[in-house]
């Protein structure tokens, strides 16, 4: 919280406001928060990480925080937003389950004078979004693809592509970042795509339109779901010949998908070795990396995102404007943002990046050297 408290302090100084941060965060009196948080599902470890880090940050500062989960249901998400509006919050931090479907909830919040912060995932096709608190998601895909490139030698390496849910704008950003790095290496023969006819048909095109990305993602989506990922990988392996196997390279969009896909590839006798990417530093994936079953993950420090969401909320609560360095087009408007950088993690830097920084305890894992 230190960085944000300093940011907050500067905001307060510049504005010469007598309002304190504590006052700003409260609904009226007591410790009830003027900010409501809606996360997409408890079923994916990523959002449980965010819940934990929000609670840590806010309860440490003395606030009761109510975090609502939409459980992968846009109707429930809208009901969550409406219940927060009814409670009198002034800012809603929302991670949409489905980026476009969340537009109606954001518009309901705006109609009630509530500021809307899109958290991690972009709410699409509406002007009712005030700010986007996010990691640099294109660079997540870049880091994943670069890892595959750095570990490939020669030509003709089998490449299997997987992506997240089409309803999640991030799936497009991750794929775009990965394509930027992989496409030249497909064009020069380093990799050969084995599981997407749409991607193969576009392999000489450096920059894809959203429709082209959607056509590819439609074929390779895990829908952010473990079983979908596993079934798709198994179907791809069944369709592939022995020559398409051997030592393979797998772009997997996140840790849940990575473990599911990795299990399917590991079970195929014609796969001699594989590299597989991920993201989120889920504990189960850190253990997979230690055990040599997943190659890498991308560390998106949720503590930073939570701090950014809180300082952005405070800026609105005291009538200010949060600082932005970028904008993201949500299909309707350019949404201001200040994206946070990410870090590639593999077995060589688990200790320095995750343990030494206090993100995880060494005792969370076995076999860590």
For binding to ligand BGC (CB under 6 A), which residues are involved?
A: 44, 46, 120-121, 164, 168, 170, 224, 254, 279-280
Q: How far is the CB of 219 from ligand BGC (least distance, A)?
A: 19
Look up residue 43 and give its DSSP letter: S
Please, which residue, 45 or 246, has the CB nearer to ligand BGC?
45
Q: How far is the CB of 47 from ligand BGC (least distance, A)?
A: 6
Distance from C-alpha of 300 to C-alpha of 122, rounded to nearest angstrom:
16
Distance from C-alpha of 139 to C-alpha of 144, rounded to nearest angstrom:
9
First to last CA, the chain: 30
Please, which residue, 190 or 254, has the CB nearer to ligand BGC?
254
Please, which residue, 200 or 340, has the CB nearer to ligand BGC?
340
Distance from C-alpha of 231 to C-alpha of 250, rounded to nearest angstrom:
15
Please, which residue, 131 or 224, has the CB nearer to ligand BGC?
224
Q: How far is the CB of 132 from ligand BGC (least distance, A)?
A: 12
Q: How far is the CB of 137 from ligand BGC (least distance, A)?
A: 6
Please, which residue, 158 or 278, has the CB nearer to ligand BGC?
278
Please, which residue, 44 or 301, has the CB nearer to ligand BGC?
44
Q: How far is the CB of 303 from ligand BGC (least distance, A)?
A: 14
The residue with tokens 């895990």 is 222
Buried b / exposed e over 105-142, threshold 16 CB at 10 Å, is bbbbbbebebbbbbbbbbbbbbebbbbbbbbbbbbbbb
Distance from C-alpha of 32 to C-alpha of 58, rounded to nearest angstrom:
11
Distance from C-alpha of 283 to C-alpha of 286, rounded to nearest angstrom:
5
Residue of 19, 343, 47 lying closest to 168 (CA atoms) = 47
Please, which residue, 107 or 168, has the CB nearer to ligand BGC?
168
Q: How far is the CB of 72 from ligand BGC (least distance, A)?
A: 10
Distance from C-alpha of 338 to C-alpha of 329, rounded to nearest angstrom:
14
Are residues 106 and 116 in contact, defined by beta-carbon separation less than 8 angstroms? yes
Q: What angle do CA 213, 227, 178 make, to 5 degrees?
A: 30
Please, which residue, 158 or 253, has the CB nearer to ligand BGC?
253
φ/ψ of 197, rounded to 5, equals -65, -30
Q: How far is the CB of 280 from ligand BGC (least distance, A)?
A: 5
Please, which residue, 256 or 336, has the CB nearer to ligand BGC?
256
Distance from C-alpha of 241 to C-alpha of 299, rounded to nearest angstrom:
35
Q: How far is the CB of 223 from ligand BGC (least distance, A)?
A: 10
DSSP three-state, residue 135: strand
Q: Which residue is nearest to ligand BGC (CB)?
A: 254
Q: How far is the CB of 170 from ligand BGC (least distance, A)?
A: 4
């Amino acid at each position: 919280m230190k960085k944000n408290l300093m940011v907050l302090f500067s905001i307060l100084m510049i504005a010469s406001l007598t309002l304190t941060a504590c006052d700003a965060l409260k609904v009226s009196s007591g410790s009830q928060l003027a900010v409501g948080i809606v996360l997409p599902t408890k079923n994916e470890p990523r959002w449980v990480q965010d819940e934990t880090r929000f609670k840590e940050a806010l309860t440490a500062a003395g606030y009761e925080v109510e975090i609502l989960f939409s459980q992968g249901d846009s109707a429930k998400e809208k009901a969550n937003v409406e219940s927060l509006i009814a409670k009198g919050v002034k800012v809603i931090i929302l991670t949409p389950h489905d980026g476009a479907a969340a537009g109606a909830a954001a518009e309901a919040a705006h109609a009630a004078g509530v500021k809307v912060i899109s958290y991690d995932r972009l709410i699409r096709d509406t002007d009712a979004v005030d700010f986007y608190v996010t990691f640099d998601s294109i660079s997540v895909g870049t880091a994943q693809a670069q890892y595959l490139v750095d570990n490939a030698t020669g030509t003709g390496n089998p490449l299997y592509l997987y992506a997240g849910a089409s309803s999640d704008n991030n799936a497009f950003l991750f794929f775009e970042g990965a394509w930027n790095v992989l496409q030249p290496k497909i064009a020069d023969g380093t990799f050969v795509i084995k599981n997407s006819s749409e991607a193969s048909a576009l392999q000489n095109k450096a920059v894809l339109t959203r429709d082209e990305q959607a056509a590819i993602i439609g074929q390779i989506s895990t829908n952010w779901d473990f079983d979908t990922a596993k079934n798709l990988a198994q179907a791809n392996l069944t369709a592939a010949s022995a020559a398409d196997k051997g030592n393979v390279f797998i772009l997997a969009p996140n840790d849940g998908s990575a473990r599911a896909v990795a299990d399917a590839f590991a079970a195929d006798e014609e796969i001699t070795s594989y590299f597989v990417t991920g993201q989120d530093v889920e504990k189960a994936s850190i253990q997979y990396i230690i055990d040599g079953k997943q190659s890498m993950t991308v560390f998106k420090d949720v503590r930073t995102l939570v701090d950014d969401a809180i300082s952005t909320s405070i800026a609105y609560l005291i009538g200010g404007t949060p600082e932005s360095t970028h904008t993201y087009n949500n299909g309707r408007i350019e949404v201001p943002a200040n994206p946070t950088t990410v870090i590639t993690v593999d077995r060589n830097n688990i200790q320095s990046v995750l343990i030494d920084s206090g993100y995880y305890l060494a005792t969370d894992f076995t076999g860590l050297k």
